[in-house]
Amino acid sequence: MATAAAPQIPAIRGNTRFFTIMAFVMGFVIVAGFTLNLAMGRSSFDAPLAYHVHALIFMGWIVLYLAQHVTASAQNWQLHSSLGKLAYFWVPAVVLAGCMIMIVVARRTGGPFFFDVNEFLVSNLALLLAFGGLTWWALRRQRYNGWHRRLMLVSMSILTGPGIGRLLPLPLLIPNAWTITFCVTLIFPIIGMIADKRTLGQIHPAYWWGTGIVVGTFVGSMLLAYSPLGYAFTEWVILGSAGAERPMQAFLPPGFSM
């Protein structure tokens, strides 16, 4: 279906300006969220090694993602292709490091207090796997330029969640903080759809497939998180750790103020 649909919509290889702008906007949102947390003293570099390993891999992916758009904008396709090969190794590293840090955070603190522990752990893991799957699909569709860069945009929008979550007043959004954060990440593929409609007259199927997979993953992960299996998995992960000492549900710590 994907191969048959692709020729119906023109894909100009040199038309990279929109995707480059979107890449830098998403990168800025992620960096801004973490920078704000540091500036406000909500986080620091004094953290266990796992945090630093995850940060290095995560930020390295952002740099690679931006570099790919810069090389495409410069029409340096040889370098673009060479850098793209790194993604085949970096994407699994991002997924593995992400899974590691989620388990570490869940056991260490139970996750951010404004999220339920089970939704933070189960839905986060599911969305991270969706990122890996969509990005891998995009890498395998490099010959179909329209599919490749749109799937990459959708997959990257998933990773804006941590940055967006640090920019929103999530304690004020309890008990819907997790769902609201996810919904905000959908702004990026929606902007892509609007751009397609304005420039091409129709929305490329890559957006429908990619966004549909992301939304479906979120809905399915939330159903799983709040099922007996989801609760059992969460309790098994945090068993005997400091994370098990906090309530399963989101809460405001005593004396908390924004």
- Residue 65 has a CB neighbour count (10 Å cut-off) of 22
Mean pLDDT over 151-160 rounds to 97
Q: What is the pLDDT of residue 258?
A: 62
pLDDT digits (tens, 9 = 90+) for 241-258: 999 999 999 999 887 766
pLDDT surpasses 90 at 141: no
Query: What backbone phi and psi angles, to 5 degrees, belong to 216?
Result: -60, -40
Q: What is the pLDDT of residue 38?
A: 80
Q: What is the pLDDT of residue 248?
A: 97
Residue 36 class from Cβ within 10 Å (0-12 exposed, 13-18 middle, 19+ buried)? middle
Q: What is the pLDDT of residue 250?
A: 96
pLDDT surpasses 50 at 1: no
Q: What is the pLDDT of residue 3?
A: 42
Residue 228 class from Cβ within 10 Å (0-12 exposed, 13-18 middle, 19+ buried)? exposed
pLDDT digits (tens, 9 = 90+) for 53-100: 999 999 999 999 999 999 988 888 888 888 888 999 999 999 999 999
38-47, 62-71, 214-223: segment of lowest average pLDDT: 38-47
- pLDDT bin (cut points 50, 70, 90) of residue 156 is very high
Residues 6+ away with beta carbon under 8 Å from 108 = 48, 241, 242, 243
pLDDT surpasses 60 at 169: yes
Q: What is the pLDDT of residue 234?
A: 98
Q: What is the pLDDT of residue 48?
A: 87
Mean pLDDT over 102-106 rounds to 96
pTM across the whole model? 0.89
The residue ranking higher by pLDDT, 215 or 15, is 215
pLDDT-above-70 percentage for the chain: 91
Domain-by-domain residue ranges, the chain?
A: 15-244
- Residue 110 has a CB neighbour count (10 Å cut-off) of 24
- pLDDT bin (cut points 50, 70, 90) of residue 44 is low
- pLDDT bin (cut points 50, 70, 90) of residue 115 is very high
